[in-house]
Amino acid sequence: MKSKWYCLLTFLMVSHFLYAENDTVLKLKEEVTISTKYVRIVDIIESSADESAKSPISSIHLGLAPEGTIVRVITADEVLSEIKRRDSNLKFIVIGDCVKVTSLKPISKENESDKMTKAVVAIKPIYPGRILTTADITLKNMAIESSEVDYFTDISILVGSISTANIEKGEIIRLGLLRLKPVVKNRDTVRARGKFIEANAVALQDGAIGDVIKLEYPATKVKFMGKVISSTVVSVVNEEGR
């Protein structure tokens, strides 16, 4: 009969295999000092984490950073809870009990790098899979850091988009929380702006703002990739054969 120790060892080996195969591991740093207004999950995990693993959580915030000499302690349970709140399908294992967060920000009512900016926020809780309407979102003056670029100032861009995460009432709607509706449709004519040329082009794919899609100059049939800036403008990324 096999000993109980052998059975225990076998169980641990199988558990480790399943853990490695099915879960993405995030290792908490012991201490971290940040200079931004909000603490993001990517700020407090080791940089050795796979970049593809970081992508789904790149926009997840864990609340305000501490000010002055205050130390904020964030536990592994808090991290997992916030990931699950945003998307219950994400599978992560967090190694480490907690991380101590300090900030370079001085104590003040408003950080000098912040500015009051009109931003789209949620009027009520929004759940994954919801198609946004004007009843879900509104414009509101918010304190936005000068380095932040993932928020929206135009409600019309977001109406018809689909939420991919849980969004709380009053939360700023950010790029990583939605699957944006296409603003450029296949065969639409748009203005392509490059470094040395600006001309009309025909879209060969649908694209939302920020997407890189394939297009073609109708006169020369030269195909190229362009980043969607608006429903009428794309920025040339590269051209075939150049």
Local mean pLDDT, 10-residue blocks, the chain (242 residues): 47 43 75 83 75 65 78 87 75 83 65 73 93 95 81 90 89 87 94 91 93 94 93 86 50
In this structure, the answer to whether residues 58 and 81 fall within a common structural domain is: yes
Phi-psi region of 129 (alpha: psi -120 to 50; beta: other; left: phi over 0): left
pLDDT of amino acid 140: 94
- Residue 137: CATH number of its domain: 3.90.1210.10
CA distance 27 to 44: 9
Query: Domain for residue 19, yes or no?
Result: yes
DSSP label at residue 56: G
In this structure, the answer to whether residues 207 and 162 fall within a common structural domain is: no
Strands 114-122 and 178-179: unpaired
Query: Domain for residue 108, yes or no?
Result: no
Residue-number span of the structural domain to which 194 is assigned: 189-239
Q: With pLDDT > 70 as the criterion, what percentage of the chain qualifies? A: 79
In this structure, the answer to whether residues 163 and 193 fall within a common structural domain is: no
CA distance 54 to 87: 14
CA distance 176 to 106: 29
Query: Domain for residue 109, yes or no?
Result: no
Which contacts qualify for 145-152: CB closer than 8 Å, 24 or more apart?
Answer: 145/36, 145/37, 145/111, 145/113, 145/114, 146/113, 146/114, 146/115, 147/36, 147/113, 150/59, 150/174, 150/175, 150/176, 151/117, 151/119, 151/120, 151/175, 152/119, 152/120
Collapsing DSSP to helix, strand or coil, 19 comes out as helix
Tens digit of pLDDT for each residue in 75-89? 888 888 888 777 667
In this structure, the answer to whether residues 60 and 81 fall within a common structural domain is: yes
